[in-house]
Structure 1
Amino acid sequence: MPVTGDVKAVDASQPGDSQVQVYAVAPRDGATPNEVVDGFLESMTSDDSDFRTTRQYLTKRASNNWKPGAVTTVLAKAPNRSDRPIHESDRSTNEVSYTLTGEKVATVDDQNAYQPLTPTDYSRTLQLVRQNGPDGKEWRIDLVPDGLVLGQSDFKRLYRSVNKFYFATGRSEAQSTLVADPVYIRNRTDPATGMDTVTQAVRSLLRGPTDWLRPVVASRFPAGTGLRKGVTSLTPDDRNVLKVPLDKKADGTGQRSCRMMASQLLFTLRDLTSARVEQVELQRSDGSALCVLDADQAEEYAPDGSSGGPDSQYFVDAKGHVERIPGSTRGSGEPERVAGPFGAGSLKVSAVGVARDEQTAAALSQHADALYVSSIAADGELPVPAVTSKAGREENRLTAPSWDGRGDLWVADRDPGNSRLLRLAGGTGKPQEVTVPSLDGSRITALRLSSDGVRIALLLTNGDGTTLKIGRIERHGPQGKEKASVVDLRQAAPQLVDVTAMSWSGGSRLVVVGKEQGGVQQVRYVQADGSTPSSGVLPGVNQVRAIAAADDEQLPLMADTVGEGIFKLLPGDNWQSVLKEGSALVYPG
């Protein structure tokens, strides 16, 4: 506790420990309008049950109409109120109004979905009236917008990001894999529902996927399934078994579907409890067991690459050949050339993309004007190019290729005269052009596919800046002849004005290299929904031109730098040099 120095005003929204808890305080007798507004704003940052204390700042009519769960508006800092009422005729008036202002950076809707926004001005009005109270006249808020208004630091203290999981559509049951759908739920207890964190996550899962992801995923829970009435707390027992009582909608579910439902739950709850949930028991409405599933059994539906996935790294050596750093060495094994024309042939390559089964790779020619696909597990001749670009300048030709979890190969031609996104189903055959209707004049300069095959990360250049956007991949038509389109692009790193490299890092997270307005290059994590984790910024490394991350977050992050070679970063460590000569390092995918 400092005993000297200046006295400073403390903003109600200060960055701090997420364990700090704010307790709501009721308005004092004779509170001025200023005190009522300030008390109401601070009370919104508490865990006040059903916002009972917060509602004491409202008139009875406003309290009945106010819906705090409708939307959460996130401002860069705590909302500012006007210093004095904006409508006040004289001291004896019975009505006054205040303006709340700030810089809006995001919203969280009633589905718990986070939506980042380009910073915009926020302005709302609170109207107060003087009414009769038990102890005489008292000021209360009579007109209030629905939802909560929080500064970023309070939002990060009160909410946490959780991945709930659904099955990718358009795949056979034997190929069913789970897809992460990130949402934000309250830490500790949700004031509106009284549910603890685990129960909130289960309830959100049962309510179905968020609107953005809904067209490409499905839940195995029967439509309308909910928790048994009155359930507000779900806690694993001393054997780490979690019993989940469901309502009548799920009573008739078959064993296969029930096991898939339990898998959705197990993956959703992975990071929510202090000890891993080892088993889930789903219960019928009468309390009898519907099915039981162990965590190890749920791995059958693991998101592609998240369980026992490939951990080797591949790069282009100084002679233009593809080499492999064997898996299980955490990036420190002895490199070896791959088999086939990319390892021993005469072709010099500039970039490589390796299929997730590590049997096939796609490589760009030295000047990025041709894409070749060949085995890296067996010797063979160099095939004819699968894709070519006619652009005159190298930087306007083909992007580095990427493979999705379905085994399809993706590449973009950056030719200003014929810019296009291409997909080779199964990595073979004639390239199919993929429509991207919401590019708005931007040009694709880099791409990476998620392991689940339903999302694509794109670097889009328009003018001087390059931004990162995530698109949803929708497939239409019969299997084998389906056509794909990328729709509903959304910002993934709105705070960065110039992104130079990115890579998926797990089911719903990316690592990006970029700059903020007027800032220096930084390496940071971002969520696929555009939010930034509290520990998002990573240690710096100079002049990064490419970045590679694995689906397994325990594997090292790899950075390709200008003139210094390739570096690796293990969790909790600093950057270490791996290769002085080499470039374009990638993990499979």
Structure 2
Amino acid sequence: MDADRAKRGRGRPVRATAYVGIGAVLLAGCASMPDSGDMRDVESTPRQDAKVRVFALPPAPDAEPQEIVQGFLEALTSDDVNYETARKYLTGDALKTWDPARSTTVLDEAPTAFTRVTGERPEADEYGFELSGKNVARVDGQHAYTPTSGQYRKLVHLTRVKGTGQWRIDELPQGVVLGRSDFVRNYESINKYYFTSAAQSGEPGTVADPVYVRSQVDPVTQVVRDLLEGPTSWLNPVARTSFPSGTALLKGTKALTPDDQNRLVVPLNKKANRVSASRCREMAAQLLFTLQDYMPTGVDEVELQGSKGALLCALGENDAGTVASHGVDGGAGYEYLIDGDHKLVRLSDRDPVTTPSPVPGALGEGEKQLRSAAVSRGEDRAAGVSADGSELYVTHMTAEGTLGDPVLRSGGATAKDRLTTPSWDGRGDLWVADRDPEKPRLLVLADGMGEPLEVRTPNLDGRIEAVRVAADGVRIALILESKGKRALYIGRIERDADAESTTVSIVELRSVTPDLEDVTAMSWAGDSQLVVVGREPGGVQQMRYVRVDGSPIPGSGPSALTGVEEIAASEDESQPLVAHSADGIVRLSPGQQWQTVVKEGSAPVYPG
């Protein structure tokens, strides 16, 4: 802001910033712009209240170029289904080729345009405009969100239409551009669900694939269409859909709406006509999981119909769990932590007793002092890191569970250069990073007991400070430290097995906290979100929720807490947050304030 003010003081044009949502689009391939004439400012699109619906107005017959640009930008923020009103501001090739579904650019503030008259005569028949701003994100044609940075600069050209004398836009970039506030008002994130092979039970598991849809323009039909198109590009290599290639809604299908029995009928084209009964149930399960994520109490049953109206299959919510492992069944039985005696103990949020009890087996008996631990998702095994960080132990949580030899040792010279807190995935494999500067590695132990396998991490920039694997087993969250800064990244887990060996790689790492320079703790907190503790440049420590695509979650994060060192959340969002803070081990239950449960303790974790 101060830099912008300084530029204005030197007579330079005001830099326009714009919030870009999934609907505002600018065409690619702009006309060459004139290099002479007067610069004039066009007012930006005003911010709208998040609950206000916006109805676009068509151009007035005598609208000046500035009014045409402003009206077009405002029309991009409206609830027009196909941007019918926005198209009325276009002419020529722009009217024929402009594709608002191509992409959405989100800017820091609503766009302001600067105009330059072609030639020196006030009656000139051409105007050039530049839209500029600070990039925040881009939503691509698959509706996938990606944080961006840098400056946005695009050119728009207007001409006076022969015959009518009215001004219209004849060249502009492809896609939609709008401000962040309009984006938040117009769009919402919805999880599509696809299958993985990572469920420990052997049955298919599900993985969330978040996309943004226009919240006031038939979102149910939008998300069904998105689901049928398959996983987004980033997730596609590790996810599968049961819908046959080319499956789409039956031609002519309008809005999809559940009936008064909360049943949604979905008519499909002929590509789905010959699917087997079991595959059809998987297709219905994908739809049911996706729609229930968007409207939890709105869809109880999905019915799929073929191209000629024949019933293919129907699936209710009570039967969906028999098709695939989805979510967390019943939530975790306990919260776990390391007590003041360096033993692994557990605590139930359903029990009024707030004194933790040792877990069954060697790790709860204090046979080895610990600094961190991880409990398997079935809560039958635990992995513990020794107090000095040099050794990793795995044992069963039963009275007969013995410690045995460590399954892994680190040769790091100091405690901070040794093993991180481990993490279990949905397959039952155990992950941990060795921070030894001489041999930094990310390792996975098959079934928690196998020979440690070094994971390939191409293009990893920095040292791994924390590891958390999602329940789906195909996504991993890493805190990476580079040049004194720590940031949170999400990577895709790819496995390649043959008769002789298995290769595991972490690919396409992407930052999900671009505005934080010091991330100190994180935990998965749902199918597609994490809770993060970090600090903005020059700011104080804060706690917030972020989605795996890097998009912010509207509303405030958890209430403030002093000196947070570690955070634990369940992927069952109904369970409380647990943190290690200056006040000890504290708990935040839904609708309540932070409460201290243990004065001396550290390393709180949920299963996983």
Instruction: Give the corresponding residue for 1:555.
Output: 575
Of 147, 153, 156, the residue aligned with 1:126 is 156
Instruction: Give the corresponding residue for 2:120.
Output: 89
Of 226, 249, 265, the residue aligned with 1:243 is 265
CA deviation digits over 1:233-282, x for unaligned, max 9? Answer: 11111111111111110011111111111110111001333733111111
Instruction: Give the corresponding residue for 2:602.
Output: 583
Q: Distance in 2 between matches of 1:480 and 1:236?
A: 51
Structure 2: gaps spanning 5 or more residues: 1-41
CA contact (8 A) 2:197 2:203 kept: no
Instruction: Give the corresponding residue for 1:257.
Output: 279
Q: Distance in 2 between matches of 1:274 and 1:396?
A: 45
Following TM superposition, by how much is the alpha carbon of 1:333 offset from its aligned partner in structure 2, in angstroms?
A: 4.7
- Which secondary structure state, in structure 2, belongs to the residue aligned with residue 350 of structure 1? strand
CA change 1:536–1:112 in 2 (3 A) is farther
Give the number of equivalent residue pairs.
Answer: 567
2:380 paired with 1:359:
yes
Q: What does 1:294-313 align with in structure 2 at a 5 Å threshold?
A: 294-301=316-323, 303=325, 305-313=327-335
- Aligned-residue CA RMSD (Å): 1.9
- Which secondary structure state, in structure 2, belongs to the residue aligned with residue 49 of structure 1? coil
2:510 paired with 1:490:
yes
Of 100, 108, 124, the residue aligned with 1:76 is 108
CA contact (8 A) 1:409 1:423 kept: yes
CA contact (8 A) 2:48 2:182 kept: yes
Structure 1: gaps spanning 5 or more residues: 1-8, 190-195
Of 441, 444, 467, the residue aligned with 2:487 is 467
2:589 paired with 1:570:
yes
Q: Distance in 2 between matches of 1:388 and 1:159?
A: 48
CA contact (8 A) 2:191 2:209 kept: yes
Instruction: Give the corresponding residue for 2:55.
Output: 23
2:201 paired with 1:181:
no
Q: Distance in 1 between matches of 2:444 and 2:577?
A: 27
Q: What does 1:206-221 align with in structure 2 at a 5 Å threshold?
A: 206-221=228-243
Q: Distance in 1 between matches of 2:199 and 2:425?
A: 14
One-letter code of the match for 2:406?
Answer: P
2:554 paired with 1:524:
no
One-letter code of the match for 1:575?
Answer: W
- Which secondary structure state, in structure 2, belongs to the residue aligned with residue 39 of structure 1? helix
Of 297, 305, 308, the residue aligned with 1:283 is 305
One-letter code of the match for 1:432?
Answer: L
Q: Distance in 2 between matches of 1:53 and 1:359?
A: 60
Q: Distance in 1 between matches of 2:206 and 2:117?
A: 53
CA contact (8 A) 1:511 1:525 kept: yes
Following TM superposition, by how much is the alpha carbon of 1:127 offset from its aligned partner in structure 2, in angstroms?
A: 0.7
CA contact (8 A) 2:105 2:175 kept: yes
CA contact (8 A) 1:13 1:77 kept: no
Of 456, 469, 494, the residue aligned with 1:449 is 469
CA contact (8 A) 2:93 2:171 kept: no
CA contact (8 A) 2:44 2:111 kept: no
Q: Distance in 1 between matches of 2:255 and 2:353?
A: 46
Q: Distance in 1 between matches of 2:586 and 2:163?
A: 68
Instruction: Give the corresponding residue for 2:405.
Output: 384
2:216 paired with 1:164:
no
Following TM superposition, by how much is the alpha carbon of 1:520 offset from its aligned partner in structure 2, in angstroms?
A: 1.0
CA change 1:26–1:364 in 2 (3 A) is same
CA deviation digits over 1:492-550, x for unaligned, max 9? Answer: 11121111000001111100000112111111000011101112522110010111000
CA change 1:274–1:232 in 2 (3 A) is farther
Of 128, 142, 158, the residue aligned with 1:111 is 142
One-letter code of the match for 2:169?
Answer: I
CA change 1:587–1:124 in 2 (3 A) is same
Instruction: Give the corresponding residue for 2:417.
Output: 396
One-letter code of the match for 1:396?
Answer: D
One-letter code of the match for 2:588?
Answer: L
Instruction: Give the corresponding residue for 2:29.
Output: none
CA contact (8 A) 2:200 2:428 kept: no
Q: Distance in 1 between matches of 2:261 and 2:355?
A: 43
CA change 1:421–1:223 in 2 (3 A) is same
- Which secondary structure state, in structure 1, belongs to the residue aligned with residue 292 of structure 2? coil
- Which secondary structure state, in structure 2, belongs to the residue aligned with residue 129 of structure 1? strand
- Which secondary structure state, in structure 2, belongs to the residue aligned with residue 270 of structure 1? helix
CA deviation digits over 1:99-139, x for unaligned, max 9? Answer: 1000011101111111112x2100000111112244xx121
CA change 1:155–1:311 in 2 (3 A) is farther
Instruction: Give the corresponding residue for 2:366.
Output: 345
One-letter code of the match for 2:152?
Answer: Y
CA contact (8 A) 2:199 2:427 kept: no
CA contact (8 A) 1:88 1:97 kept: no
- Which secondary structure state, in structure 2, belongs to the residue aligned with residue 50 of structure 1? coil
One-letter code of the match for 1:12?
Answer: T
Instruction: Give the corresponding residue for 1:98.
Output: 129
One-letter code of the match for 2:515?
Answer: Q
One-letter code of the match for 2:186?
Answer: L
2:163 paired with 1:143:
no
Q: Distance in 2 between matches of 1:549 and 1:98?
A: 49
Following TM superposition, by how much is the alpha carbon of 1:381 offset from its aligned partner in structure 2, in angstroms?
A: 3.0
Following TM superposition, by how much is the alpha carbon of 1:170 offset from its aligned partner in structure 2, in angstroms?
A: 6.8
Following TM superposition, by how much is the alpha carbon of 1:42 offset from its aligned partner in structure 2, in angstroms?
A: 1.0
CA contact (8 A) 1:332 1:578 kept: no
CA change 1:304–1:62 in 2 (3 A) is closer
CA change 1:355–1:304 in 2 (3 A) is farther
Q: Distance in 2 between matches of 1:480 and 1:559?
A: 43
CA contact (8 A) 1:164 1:182 kept: yes
Following TM superposition, by how much is the alpha carbon of 1:171 offset from its aligned partner in structure 2, in angstroms?
A: 6.9
CA contact (8 A) 2:391 2:406 kept: yes
TM-score by length of 2: 0.90
Q: Distance in 1 between matches of 2:117 and 2:404?
A: 74
Q: Distance in 2 between matches of 1:274 and 1:391?
A: 48
CA change 1:316–1:274 in 2 (3 A) is closer
Q: Distance in 1 between matches of 2:450 and 2:296?
A: 48
CA change 1:300–1:478 in 2 (3 A) is farther
- Which secondary structure state, in structure 1, belongs to the residue aligned with residue 86 of structure 2? helix
Of 224, 229, 239, the residue aligned with 2:251 is 229
CA contact (8 A) 2:256 2:266 kept: yes
CA deviation digits over 1:307-348, x for unaligned, max 9? Answer: 22424111100000010113644x865421012111113311
Instruction: Give the corresponding residue for 1:3.
Output: none
Q: Distance in 1 between matches of 2:196 and 2:567?
A: 27
Q: Distance in 1 between matches of 2:142 and 2:556?
A: 24
TM-score by length of 1: 0.93
One-letter code of the match for 2:57?
Answer: V
Following TM superposition, by how much is the alpha carbon of 1:569 offset from its aligned partner in structure 2, in angstroms?
A: 1.2
- Percent identity over paired residues: 46
Q: Distance in 1 between matches of 2:348 and 2:237?
A: 38
Q: Distance in 2 between matches of 1:265 and 1:425?
A: 32
CA deviation digits over 1:542-585, x for unaligned, max 9? Answer: 010111000110000111113x1011112222212111111111
Q: Distance in 2 between matches of 1:497 and 1:13?
A: 31
